[in-house]
Every structure is written in C-alpha cells, then in structure tokens.
Amino acid sequence: MRIHVINPNSTASMTDQIARAAEAARSEGSVIEAETATGTPASIEGYSDEAMAVPAMLAAIRAADKRGASAHVIACFDDPGLAAAREVASGPVIGICQAAVQVAVTVATRFSVITTLPRSVPVIEDLVAHYGATSRCRRVRAVDLPVLALEADPATARAKLLAEARAAIREDGVDAIVLGCAGMAELCAWLSREAGVPVIDGVTAAVKLAEALASGGFRTSKTGAYAYPRDKSSDRLASGSTG
C-alpha cells in the first residue's frame, strides 16, 4: 500500500525528518510518499498559517489520491484542513493530532501534550476536546520555542522538552506524553527512555493507523458531509450567470 504523507508547511528539511519517522514506522510492503506543500508558510504557528497552508495541501492530496494513494497523513499537529481533506480524498485521511490522542487514550490513563509555542496551546486544547479526550488530557504544555528552532537549536530543544516532560509527570500525574509537533518526531524514542513513560509521536501513530484502515479496506464515506465537493459549473450554466 502507498501512504501519502503531506507536510503542510514549505520547509523541506522538516519533511525529510517526517519522512524518516514515517519510514521507521511503516510495515513491510508499505511505501511512504512524503511531500512538502508549496507556497505555504515555513511553519504553521496559528490559525492564519493554517488557512494559508490548506489550499496547497488539498491540491497535493487530490493529486496523490489520483496516483493511487491508499491513505493520507497530514503531518501537522494542528490537523489543518482535516475535514476538507476527507472531502477530496477517497482513502482515509489521518491527522497526527487525532492519531496521537487515540493512541494515548489506549495505552495510558492520563496524558499531557508538549508543543512548541504558547499560542498553540488553545488550538490543541480545542482539538483534544473535539476528539473527546478532555477528561484524559491533564494539560497542554509549551516549551516556548518556534517550530523551526527544533531543528536550528536541537540541544536547547532537547533540554526544554525533557524538562517539560518531567514536569508533566511530576505535576500533572500523567503516565504518557504526546509530542505536539511533527518536528519533534525524531526525539520520541530518546524522550521515552529519559522520561520513563510512553512518548507518542503523531507521525508514527498516524502511519500505523493509516496502514490499519487501508489494509482493512476502509474508505472515506462519500454519502454525507465527506462527499466530494460539488461541481458548481452546472449551477452557473443553469442560472445563466457568468460571474
């Protein structure tokens, strides 16, 4: 099966890191097709960045779907444009936040999320609530580093991430940590060893969930809200409108 992994931001080095995490997670026989969105923000840090990234992301998902992708992974923890992506794709579309939360509530009783900037905290809190996991998520924490600093200053990123994970275990009483940014993917195994609790990377979780759904023959429903977008050209012709 072919798993299409789209990085909605335009930073190719981040796509490379995401691709490595996806490759490490894939099963034998699966092919990872990692792609960087074009003409989008260099990182996604807020609602405006999300909105600007979605059109190019949807175009990439449409194209991959036509090429025969079995499933799609949106590799941004804000799950930008997830519902819209499910409209345009025939195969399952997995957001890494939703996947990570689903794994967390399965393997642990309580978890906290560690993300990059404080401005991302309310976005993730709302997503956790949307996915029905508020009672299990003790806190969304931020290391107060921009997304691109994870790669530019890895030593500081590691130190801040470990300190925040230990604080979550001590203060929040959690037995698992969710990494709230795709750019943290390669730190997952190291952090789990250092912190002593399961650490869940959304890229890994999403790839495994995408494989499970695709191999089970599950497709995105096209009879309701996830139906393909309507072709509006016939509406304009019927009304005689040229605008």
pLDDT of residue 151: 87
Q: For residue 130, what are the CA distances in angstroms to 83, 124, 127, 179?
A: 12, 10, 5, 18
Tens-place pLDDT, residues 59-89: 999 999 999 999 999 999 999 999 999 999 9
Tens-place pLDDT, residues 98-150: 999 999 999 999 999 999 999 999 999 999 999 999 999 999 999 999 999 98
Above 60 in pLDDT, residue 243? no
Above 80 in pLDDT, residue 230? yes
Task: List the domains of the chain with CATH numbers.
Answer: 2-95+204-222 (3.40.50.12500), 97-202 (3.40.50.12500)
pLDDT band at 215 (very low <50, low <70, confident <90, very high): very high
The side-by-side arrangement of strands in the sheet containing 111-115 is 137-142, 111-115, 177-179, 199-201
pTM of the shown model = 0.93
Average pLDDT, rounded, for the chain: 95
